[in-house]
Structure formats: C-alpha cells, structure tokens
Amino acid sequence: MTMNLAKKILAAHLVSGDMVKGAEIGIRIDQTLTQDATGTMSYLQFEAMGIPRVRTKLSVSYVDHNTLQTGFENADDHAFLQSIAAKYGIYFSRPGNGICHQVHLERFAVPGQTLLGSDSHTPTAGGMGMLAIGAGGLDVAVAMGGGPFYLNMPSVLNVRLRGRLKPWVSSKDIILEILRRLSVKGGVGWILEFSGEGVQSLTVPERATITNMGAELGATTSVFPSDELTREFLKAQGREGDWVPLAADPGADYDEVIEIDLDSLEPLAAMPHSPDNIALVKELAGTPIDQVAIGSCTNSSYIDLMRVARILKGHVVHPRVSLVVSPGSKQVLTMLASNGALADILASGARVLEPSCGPCIGMGQAPRSGGVSLRTFNRNFEGRSGTPNAKVYLVSPEVAAAGAIRGVITDPRELGDYPVISMPETFMADDSMIIPPASDPEGVEIVRGPNIKPLPLREPLSEDVTGKVLLRVGDNITTDHIMPAGAKILPLRSNIPAISEYVFSRVDPDFAKRARESGGGFVVGGHNYGQGSSREHAALAPMYLGVKAVLAKSFARIHRANLINFGILPLTFLDEADYDWISQGDQLEIQGVRRALENGEETLTVTDITASRSFLVKHGLTERQVGVMLAGGLLNYTRGGINVPV
C-alpha cells in the first residue's frame, strides 16, 4: 500500500486505534519539549504522576518566554525548571540559549521521529521531517511518562509547491498565502504535507518558517520531506548521523491537494488583527510605521537575520521607527557577531535583545498607543503586543527591514538587488548552555519559590451541570483573549489562584469576579473557540473559577483537548442558530450528564431556564475522554494508573 509521509510516520508510532479519518489514535512520542511559560505546570503534573525518570528518547526544557525578570517570579521558575530537569532526566536549555523551536531545529530535531511540545509552534520541527505536534502541558507530562499521545486521525492535505520564489519573496509569503486561502480555522483536523519541485529550493529553516505558522491555520501539524538539503543542514550542525531520507511513496493518496506557484507569489502581509487577514504589501505601501520587530520562532534563523543585516547595512533606521531585533538562538547571535553582520545591525540603530520570545509574547517592547508595528512574528491578535490599540502587521524579514529604513510600509522589491545568502557549511554549534540531566538524581533537591503554588484539581463530574452564562463571545476567540500573556501576567503562570484573576480580563474586566460570585458557570462561544496557543492555563484558570462547560459552534484542537484534560465539558451546538438565543446571565441546566456519558449518549439537552427553551448539544468525546471527564480531568484519571504504563 502506498502511503503519504504523514501517515508513514504515524503508522510507525501507532500504539492504539485505527488510522481512520476522525477516529482516536494513540501514538508513541520520541521527544518532548517544554518552555518556561507552560513548563512549570507540565512538570508539576509530571511530578504528581510519581514517575522517577522520563521515558522518552529525549526531553528538553527550554527557558525562552519569561526572560524579563521584573520580580522574583520568573527567576524562581527558572530555578525550579533547572532542578526538575536535573532530577528527572531532562536536558535544560538555559535562558539566553534561544527560542525553543529554533534551538530544537538546530540541535535536536530528527527526521521521522515524533515530537510533542507544550507550545503550539512545535510543528516548526516539521521543517526537518519530524512529526511535531503542539499540546497542553499535561499531555506532554503524560508523554514524558511514556504514555501515548491521543489525537483524532487527521486528514492529510498535500501542498504542492511549483517553481521558485522570485527575489524579495520569501517562505513567509508562502505560509501567508496558505493562510489567505484556508483561513485561521481551515487547518483544524488536518496535517499539511509539502511536496513538489519547489521544496528543493527551500532550506530547512525556510521550511520551518512555513511549518511553524501552520499553527495559525489550526492544523495538527505540517511536515516536509527529509532530503539532501535536510542532510546538508544536519551535517552543518555536526549531526549528519541523525539524517534519514523520507518522502511520501510515489503516487500516495491525499485527502486533498492544493498547488502553489511560487513564481507568482508577491510579498504579503497579515493585517490587524488576524494572521489570515492578508493583503499585498504593495497595496499597503506608504502606511507610516512606528515599530519594526524582527525575530520570534518564525523568522529568527541565521538566514533570516543575515538577510536583514545586508538590507540594513549602510542605513540608519527611520527617525519615526523603533527597530528591535531578537535572534532565535545563541548560535545565530554568535555567528552574526563573528562575521560582522551584528555590527551592521547595530550600526543601523537596531535595539538588539537576547535570544528569546520577547516582544512576540508581549515581554517588553509594547508599541506606542495606536502605533503601527511590523513584525516578522506569527500572531497579531488584538492586544497581544501589550498595547491594546496597536496595529500589528505580520511580514517577512525583507518587508520588515525595508519598512525600518523607509519609515513606511515598503514593497522590498523597490530596494534593488536582492541579497543572496548561502547556508553556512558549518554552523557554530556549542551546546555549553544546554545542561544534561544529573548523574545522581537522588541528590537533586527541587527548588520551589513562593510563586509556585500547588496544582488545583477538579472534582469528579456531577450528575447535573447548572449555572449562569458568565460570558457570550463571538467567532475566533483566541487563548490570548481567554488567558492573556504579556510581561505582567506571564510571571503568574505557576500560580493558578493569582493568574485566574486575569481570565478574559481584556474582554471583560469583571469576568473573574462574576465567575467567583456565581459559583462558576458556562461560557458561550462561536466558531474556532480557543484558537492560538497551547497554554493550558486557558482551561486550568477558568476551571479554577468554576467554569463547568463551554458551549461553542466549533473548537480549536489544542484548546478543546485542554478543556477535557481539566474537566471542562466542550459542547457544540447541534443547531448553530441556538447560539443566537442565549444571553449573558441566562441560567442553564444540563440534567443527567454523568448518566448520559456513562450510557454512551452522544447528545445532551441544555435547558435555558431564563429563556424558557431547550436545545441539543453534542460532546464528541471518545470513550477514553468520557473516562477523563467523569474523573474530573486527566490528572485524576491517570492517578488511577489507566493512562501511563508504570
């Protein structure tokens, strides 16, 4: 039987279920990664499982998000993460070593293996031919314990790349074009698999820009074949031994195919406030810019920043613009420093940050009020930059650099000759900032600062679920709406009671108070509820506030899984028109939920007591998920020893 590449990797890792579209399968996870903003919870959960050492081939804990230390909290979390890593057999990438996805691609990603990461941009490693999936921290904890990762068997979309990109058009424009065609919810339930002769002109980091931002489609993951360019990249990283050739079988089937003619692409931008709000850069030309931010796990590779350095060389940043550059890794920064490119970047007036997420997650560098910010990042959700009324455009490094010089959005093709950057034959690989696990784990004491609070747990599911509609929101609500990030709130990631005060704070500042006073209740949403990040705090903190169920038209994959993991019912309307009848403050009741789930019933009746009407919702839970829900969440369920083999 011929198989596409995604199916081959899934089949090689299958531990349960049949690979039938939509059915639940369990897969073995070879590698895991965590970052500091999701990692503390993930490791608290791992600790609670009582397993002495990780059972993966490789697990890495990165510190890259919470690097602004405005108080003791982040530094305390770093110390906790370092001690946990030493004790449980995990490699620890120290703050300053770089953004998890960039470093993982450079130093650890292996074609054909599976990677589960507590960050939605884990698919970055798909640029290397890995099957790399983002998940909540609890799912990653289970995988570290040797348990399978469960997902619904995705459909596979073949993206055929034809031709070659023209000068000044880059791989960022390819993924922006896909977002234009498919939208931020078009990838839910899909894996994107790239093929075609166009692949051969894209280096591994350029491929990784595309798989990285596949997350913005809501896709399960995205994957490229592993070919000669993959081998060259690995060789240049001193890891040729990790290379294996991988591709779909000739004539393999796909559920759908789209073609992209690379020659016809032009520089694109995602306009405020959604990654799928795409326009041609030339149509936006002339728009005044206040800030340009270059970096993030999407566009901070050596190739990206070398190109930026060449474009900036000999220019000074426009007086209106603040240019900030954050290299993706210590490797990238070191190479720029040693070949002189960093001097060109500095000479332009750029403000260079340490290799970390930085402005991408609102950790500093918030734009001025109402300011226009051009960013090479992957998300431009309203308020994510830290300035509620800023207007963020997502662009390629070429468009960003051109804008920084001119002070207005500029079609980079106006700049003349395109700087051709070739891949280095050898990268400056130095793993001295990656600390291996301790050789005497018993001797390691876990460091726990006062900001690290114990994990809250939910009670087993009650027979009837009742409460008020605490909030009713529209389509495409992001996890940044539900549980905002930024320099002020991120340091509370290991303190659920404190962070829960900020749930929905940008949408409705009274939400937390109302939820507490009402003893919890329901949230009602539109399509693609919970799109964006993998942060399980967007489920855990509402759970802490007593949210019992979310009724929505549809859910984003990772957030739905997180809701289930923390015992919140994700329910979808059988008839979407029922959404229109519900108002904030309505008293809802679902009787006999436990019994219905135990009896295998697929729909539940919701009574809106205030509106005097009833309607049907479906839960779509698999048998395993029903078990999780009845137990009051995955941690209660795994404590029964059901999920993780001991």
Interaction site with ligand SF4 (CB under 6 A):
65, 99, 119, 121, 296-297, 357, 360-361, 377-378
Q: For the chain, how many helices (H) and strands (E)? A: 23, 27
User: Around Cβ 305, how many Cβ atoms within 10 Å?
Assistant: 28
Q: How far is the CB of 121 from ligand SF4 (least distance, A)?
A: 5
Is 557 among the residues known to form the active site? no
174: tokens are 């390819």
With CB under 5 to 8 Å by kind, the binding choice for 527 among ligand MIC, ligand SF4, none is: none
Is 30 among the residues known to form the active site? no
Distant-in-sequence, close-in-space partners of 450: CB < 8 Å, separation ≥ 6: 72, 76
With CB under 5 to 8 Å by kind, the binding choice for 99 among ligand MIC, ligand SF4, none is: ligand SF4
The pair phi, psi for residue 188, each rounded to 5°, is -60, 125
Q: How far is the CB of 360 from ligand MIC (least distance, A)?
A: 6
230 binds ligand MIC (CB under 6 A): no
**Residue 299 or residue 572: which is nearer to ligand SF4 going by CB?**
299
Helix (H, G, I), strand (E, B) or coil at 579: helix
Q: How far is the CB of 169 from ligand SF4 (least distance, A)?
A: 23
Q: Are 225 and 112 in contact (CB under 8 A)?
A: no
How many whole angstroms separate alpha carbon 80 and alpha carbon 158? 42
Active-site residue (options: 28, 65, 101, 448) = 65
Is 533 among the residues known to form the active site? yes
**Residue 4 or residue 533: which is nearer to ligand MIC going by CB?**
533
365 binds ligand MIC (CB under 6 A): no
Active-site residue (options: 30, 76, 119, 139) = 119
Helix (H, G, I), strand (E, B) or coil at 470: strand
231 binds ligand MIC (CB under 6 A): no
Give the torsion through C-alpha atoms of 82, 85, 86, 88, to 10 deg.
Answer: 150
- In the chain, the amino acid numbered 252 is A
Burial class (CB in 10 A: 0-12, 13-18, 19+), 456: middle
- In the chain, the amino acid numbered 616 is L
Q: How far is the CB of 359 from ligand MIC (least distance, A)?
A: 12
Give me the helices (H) in 95-136, please. 100-107
Give the x-and-dash track for 50-79 against ligand MIC (CB under 6 A). Answer: ---------------x--------------
535 binds ligand MIC (CB under 6 A): yes
Q: How far is the CB of 148 from ligand SF4 (least distance, A)?
A: 25
How many whole angstroms separate alpha carbon 329 and alpha carbon 302? 9
Residues 108-127 that bind ligand MIC (CB under 6 A): 119-121
Q: How far is the CB of 117 from ligand MIC (least distance, A)?
A: 8
560 binds ligand MIC (CB under 6 A): no
How many whole angstroms separate alpha carbon 428 and alpha carbon 632? 48
Is 318 among the residues known to form the active site? no
Q: How far is the CB of 326 from ligand SF4 (least distance, A)?
A: 8
Active-site residue (options: 30, 64, 76, 411) = 64
**Residue 118 or residue 183: which is nearer to ligand MIC going by CB?**
118
Is 535 among the residues known to form the active site? yes
Single out the segment in contact with ligand MIC by CB under 6 A; choices: 55-63, 395-403, 528-536, 543-551: 528-536
Among 209, 495, 534, 638, binds ligand MIC (CB under 6 A): 534
Q: Are 255 and 219 in contact (CB under 8 A)?
A: no
Q: How far is the CB of 64 from ligand SF4 (least distance, A)?
A: 6
**Residue 134 or residue 198: which is nearer to ligand MIC going by CB?**
134
Q: Three-state secondary structure along 216-237?
A: HHCECEEECCECHHHHHHHHHC
Among 38, 82, 183, 274, binds ligand MIC (CB under 6 A): 38
Q: Is 585 left (phi over 0), alpha (psi -120 to 50) or beta?
A: left
Distant-in-sequence, close-in-space partners of 238: CB < 8 Å, separation ≥ 6: 426, 427, 429
252: tokens are 């393999």
How many whole angstroms separate alpha carbon 437 and alpha carbon 89? 5
Is 379 among the residues known to form the active site? yes
**Residue 451 or residue 534: which is nearer to ligand MIC going by CB?**
534
Active-site residue (options: 231, 318, 448, 535) = 535
CA distances from 408 to 203, 282, 412 (A): 30, 11, 11
Residues that bind ligand MIC (CB under 6 A): 37-38, 65, 119-121, 134, 361, 485, 532-535
Positions annotated as catalytic residues are: 64-65, 119, 379, 533, 535
